[in-house]
Structure 1
Amino acid sequence: MKSASLSALAILISSTLLTGCGFAESAAPQQDKARPVKLMTIGDASSQQTRIFPARVAASQQADLAFRIGGELVNLDLIEGQKVEKGQLLAQLDERDAKNALMDAEANYELAAVDFKRKEEIYKRKLISKAEYDTAKATLKSAKAALAIARDQLDYTRLTAPFSGIVAKVALDNHQMIQPTQVVLSLQGDQLLDVQIQVPESLLLTLNNKGLSEKYQPLVRFGSRDALYPVSYKEHASKVSPGTQTYEVVFSLVRPESLNVLPGMSAELLLDMAVMNQEASSVIAVLPQTAIFRSDETQQTSVWRYNADSHKLESVEVTLGQVRAQGIEVLSGITKGDQIVAVGASVLKQDMDVKPLRWERGV
């Protein structure tokens, strides 16, 4: 009797376990066979390659002006920020000594000219020696040179504007005694400004021998303003900037009429890297190395394109360009709007069922 009870209990327990397992199997959801993949959408290559560089505004044309001679400064009536025109009188020295020297030189020249003319007539009649004639001729030449120097010295008492511009700094005051070449004022051109940026050597390598295309104009903006102003490529340095591994590239900006832009101000320059050289216009996209693989069948470099309708992958052969810091250039094979697998391309297969990878909260 006791054995029969134990057997019945064993059967009951076994039935319960089997029922529980069956319930667990029926309750388990059917697993999705589609493999999750990380996708990236090919966009506009030019917008993808636009970079923003911090920039500094500088005067395109600037000169520190000084007198060639020394003397007393008697006429300096300029203020900083004042506009001046080319040839305008900026400052003047006391010219009395220079005028007296000019009068003396004029008198000596006139005397030498008269003496030479008289001796020339006498020499023709062979009444004086050739040596006396040559001396009179040399004296006239010397007097003429001294007269030219005296006129220059008088001109040197006046400081005129070499170009139209704005007075950036006035360094002296009237009635000061100054030395030759002592800076009186600084003048900056008022038409063009330089916009300077620093670029790494990897980007400078993409410049062709003539710099940027003349048809392409990058854009610059100032502060928090939304207004953009076109600039033109001017030049780039061939020597690295001290303390850095960067090179200076300079652009020219026509001074905006609606904005008071001054040298020394900061700015941002928007540069489209797609036009940094002649071949860059053919770049469709820059893909990570993990998106590119070599096909086993054709041995061609390829990428996986996702078909949103069939949820399958298809292999697309691509032509590669240069290697960049962000990835590898793709020159052909894909178009704008294509969805490309960004990671794990080497382990995927043709016509594989996949689904876009979506991040869940907490994962």
Structure 2
Amino acid sequence: MKKIFIPLFLILSLLASCGKKKEVKKALIEDDIIAVKLVDVSHANSTEAIKASGLVGSLQEARLSFKTGGIIEKIFVKEGQNVRKGQLLATLNLTEINAQVQQANESVQKAERDLKRVTNLYRDSVATLEQVQNLTTALSVAKQSLEIASYNQGYSKIYAANNGVIVKKLMNEGELAGPGTPVFFMNASGANDWVIKVGVADKDWTRLRMGDRAMVKLDAFPDQTFTAIISNLSQGADQSSGLYQAELKLNTQGKKMATGLFGNAQITPSVIQKHTSIPIEAIVEGNGNEASVYVVENGKARKLPVQLAGVDNISAFITSGLAGISQVITDGSAYLVEGSKVKVVK
């Protein structure tokens, strides 16, 4: 059966009221025998949901830049514009770059002429083998320089890597762009390209697996719940927050998405935790993950501190504190203090 977990603070007010009742009854129970009921401690599996929040982003985010530096001559797109894969987005002023290509090309031609002339002289025993070898190397270097210059010339233009939308234009025409300096921030625009990126604590990260399902609520669509699955789990914590990032691939259900939409996710982990389980009525007080229960020992009530893993509307799941304990008190626990005389009834 699927369990619905409720936060611990929802039961603290009940526990506080029980504490007040206990104070009122304290004078009476010191000399009285309190009738109590016992229940068995059992073992159960829990699948407590993991709650996290984050921002919507694209699977195909890209920060597009020029490989070489130079003056931006022309930008062909605007912010918010949809683009196609391979579409020309911007180009540098190619005067300097074209000159470098021409210079490298002429160096190759000169090296070829020099090598041809020295090779003929070597056949006539006028030039040495070392001279031939040196000019052969010079020709090879000149060709590689031409290849580099031509490669840089080709990457002095920016093309769209995928179909998508220009989210942000970071530079304008006439500005000096450095090598690798982003000029555009681009997202893929397909319906299946959206994820929500959330941060989870290390103890929750260990419970998650690829493909685990989640329910997502976006502030932009308050009346709609989206389904999602984990598509990526980071293998290292973020240095600033200490959290591990999980990417949840969204089923957008045809809704228009945008980078930066805020959302809350409730992830159902596939890793089932095994805990000691007791009825929630056995908990007499709590503070965060710390709580207390009563057990019977030699006809008297003994108070035991326990650590909670979580609670649902029926049970409390205990991680520690009940080793060797087979039964705990439920009915009558609100009137007990340490050492109260008790009588077990059925």
Fold shared by both chains (TM-score > 0.5): yes
Structure 2 unaligned regions, length at least 5: 1-34, 285-292, 299-305, 320-328, 337-341
Which among 309, 319, 322 is matched to residue 324 of structure 1?
Answer: 309
Task: Give the C-alpha shift of residue 147 in structure 1.
Answer: 1.0
Q: Secondary structure at the match of 2:185?
A: strand
Q: Percent identity?
A: 17
1:214-259, Cα deviation, whole Å (9 max, x unpaired): 35311212231233222215224644664x6x62432232462511
Within-5 A mapping of 1:219-258: 219-223=215-219, 224-236=222-234, 238-239=236-237, 242=240, 247-254=243-250, 256=252, 258=254
Change (3 A) 1:117 1:181: same
Aligned partners of 1:178, 1:192: CA distance in 2, in Å? 29
Task: Give the C-alpha shift of residue 72 in structure 1.
Answer: 2.9
Q: Secondary structure at the match of 1:324?
A: strand
Aligned partners of 2:174, 2:104: CA distance in 1, in Å? 28
1:255-314, Cα deviation, whole Å (9 max, x unpaired): 625112222211121223xx363x42x6696744538766879xxxxxxxxxxxxxxxxx
Structure 1 unaligned regions, length at least 5: 1-34, 298-320, 331-339, 352-363
Which residue of the partner structure matches residue 93 of structure 2?
A: 94
Q: Secondary structure at the match of 1:218?
A: strand
Task: Give the C-alpha shift of residue 118 in structure 1.
Answer: 3.9
Within-5 A mapping of 1:1-363: 49-50=48-49, 52-190=51-189, 191-200=192-201, 204-208=202-206, 212-223=208-219, 224-236=222-234, 238-239=236-237, 242=240, 247-254=243-250, 256=252, 258-272=254-268, 275=269, 277=271, 279-280=272-273, 287-288=279-280, 290=283, 323-326=308-311, 327-329=316-318, 341=330, 344=333, 347=342, 349-351=344-346
Which residue of the partner structure matches residue 334 of structure 1?
A: none
Q: Secondary structure at the match of 1:58?
A: strand
Change (3 A) 1:87 1:49: same
Q: Secondary structure at the match of 1:231?
A: strand
The answer to whether the 8 A contact 1:207-1:276 is kept is no
The answer to whether the 8 A contact 2:76-2:88 is kept is no
Aligned partners of 2:141, 2:232: CA distance in 1, in Å? 48
The answer to whether the 8 A contact 2:62-2:185 is kept is yes
Aligned partners of 2:331, 2:276: CA distance in 1, in Å? 15
Change (3 A) 1:125 1:170: same
Aligned partners of 1:171, 1:142: CA distance in 2, in Å? 37
Q: TM-score, normalised by structure 2?
A: 0.63
Change (3 A) 1:172 1:240: closer
Aligned partners of 1:168, 1:156: CA distance in 2, in Å? 22
Higher relative contact order (CA 8 A, sep 6+): 2
Q: Which has the larger radius of gyration?
A: 1
Change (3 A) 1:133 1:49: closer
Aligned partners of 2:238, 2:99: CA distance in 1, in Å? 53
Q: TM-score, normalised by structure 1?
A: 0.60
The number of aligned residues is 271
